[in-house]
Amino acid sequence: MKDGTLVIHEIYASIQGESTFAGLPCTFVRTTGCNLRCSWCDTPQAFHGGTRMPRSEVLARALALKTPLVELTGGEPLLQPAVLPLMRELCDAGRTVLVETSGEADVAGVDPRVHKIMDLKCPGSGEGHRNRWSNLEHIGPRDEIKFVLADRADYEWMRATIAERRLSERTPNLLASTVFGRLPPRDLVGWVLEDALPVRVQLQMHKYVWAPEATGV
């Protein structure tokens, strides 16, 4: 793929549904394509298709939505080389930039001004063997590590990983989510309290806004 173009699934403004930025207005730049196939993936529509655009057009469209916060997401944004200069340009334009990444893609080249929100894939995803552990060397206090949990076994894996990899020493932002409709959040809350685990339990706020019928609200 050429450095000057990106394949884009969609660019739109909404509220940020997850992370420590949850609830804030945010522009989402969703790239096409992912090299993983998590069992519970909720954006399979971004695996294929998309529109190839010059980087300058993606930048202009993201800035035109005027939110202080911009997130690169996917699919997996870091599969496309042009994402790195695009994020630099968004930072240069004064935006707070987030990138949601799978934990498999190499984060070494990401501009240090960008907040990396990096998954560590639990066994229930079916992609746990793809975690690129060397990425942890590039995770600092402004970054966030996210676990998406499908069941109790995933929770226990997360608990062990936090301890063995001393993740709290890298960042205070350890996020624990449940697979929507599969693991009741109240179960996760109970386990976290029982273990006094230093994680932030999060719900996917955008689903309560845009798909309330699925949430029982």
Q: Which residues bind ligand SF4 (CB under 6 A)?
A: 34, 36-38, 41, 43, 74-76, 102
Rank residues 69 and 77 by Cβ distance to ligand SF4 and give the closer one.
Answer: 77
Q: Smallest distance, Å, CB 43 to ligand SF4?
A: 5
Q: Torsion over CA of 71, 72, 76 and 79, rounded to 10 degrees? A: -150
Angstrom distance (rounded) from CA 33 to CA 81:
13
Rank residues 41 and 205 by Cβ distance to ligand SF4 and give the closer one.
Answer: 41
Rank residues 26 and 89 by Cβ distance to ligand SF4 and give the closer one.
Answer: 26
Instruction: Return the closest-CA partner of residue 121 out of 133, 109, 107, 106.
Output: 133
Q: Smallest distance, Å, CB 135 to ligand SF4?
A: 13
Provide the token pair at 161.
Answer: 């990983």
Cis amide bond preceding 75, omega within 30: yes
Rank residues 45 and 56 by Cβ distance to ligand SF4 and give the closer one.
Answer: 45
Local structure of 211: helix, strand or coil: coil
Q: What angle do CA 36, 38, 40 make, to 5 degrees?
A: 155
